[in-house]
Amino acid sequence: MSDGWRWGNAPLPESHLVLIVMGFVLGAVWPLDLGLSSIWLTVLGAALTFFGVVIAVWATHSAGNVMLAGPDRLVTDGPYSRSRHPMYVAWTFVYLGLVLLLDSGWLLMLTPVLAGWIHWETGREEQRLAVEFGAQYDDYRSEVRRYV
């Protein structure tokens, strides 16, 4: 159960932020539109973005006063009961929503880089949590999927 709100848990992960900025910069230098603009893709992009923000807010609320960058306890309720990394999942929905909303070929092309970076980051986090929390984390890891 959360017992507060820690704003430091809410910002975009570096992986997402760096690649979004890179996509914008590349798009400014060499525009690369997907040419897929339609009302349905815009609605889908907005829905993905909204869904991602909702998950991020829910995860931040569920974490409460736990500093996710260096937790003193495991957060296992809320979206953390369904995904070990709901913040990464949330911001990936936002990222994919932006691909559609901005009709950005660069963001789409950077998506595999994002996926690899996230997988590497979450693997490192999980190693640290396994050392820190031992059997408690092993039990959590065996019950809850990494992403979705």
To the nearest whole percent, how much of the chain has pLDDT over 70?
93
- pLDDT mean over 63-86: 90
**Paired residues of 33 in beta bridges:** 104
pLDDT of residue 1: 44
Segment 118-127, tens digit of pLDDT: 999 999 999 9
6, pLDDT greater than 50: yes
Q: Which of the residue ranges 11-20, 37-46, 54-63 would you say has the lowest mean pLDDT?
A: 11-20
Element (H, E) at 27: helix 14-29
What is the pTM assigned to this prediction?
Answer: 0.88
At 4 the pLDDT is 55
- Reply yes or no on whether the pLDDT at 85 is more than 60: yes
Question: Which value, to the nearest 10 degrees, does the dihedral of the CA atoms of residues 56, 58, 60, 66 take?
Answer: -140
What's the rounded Cα separation, in Å, for the pair 79 and 148?
Answer: 10
pLDDT, the chain, mean: 90
Picking from 99, 89, 20, 6, the residue whose alpha carbon sits closest to that of residue 55 is: 89
Q: For residue 2, is pLDDT > 50?
A: no
- What single-letter amino acid sits at 1? M
Write the pLDDT tens digit of every residue in 95-107: 999 999 999 999 9
SS3 for 104? strand
Q: Where are the domains of the chain?
A: 37-143
- R_g over Cα of the chain: 17
Q: How many CA atoms lie within 13 A of 14 on its CB side?
A: 5
Give residue 139's pLDDT: 97
Report the pLDDT averaged over residues 70-87: 94
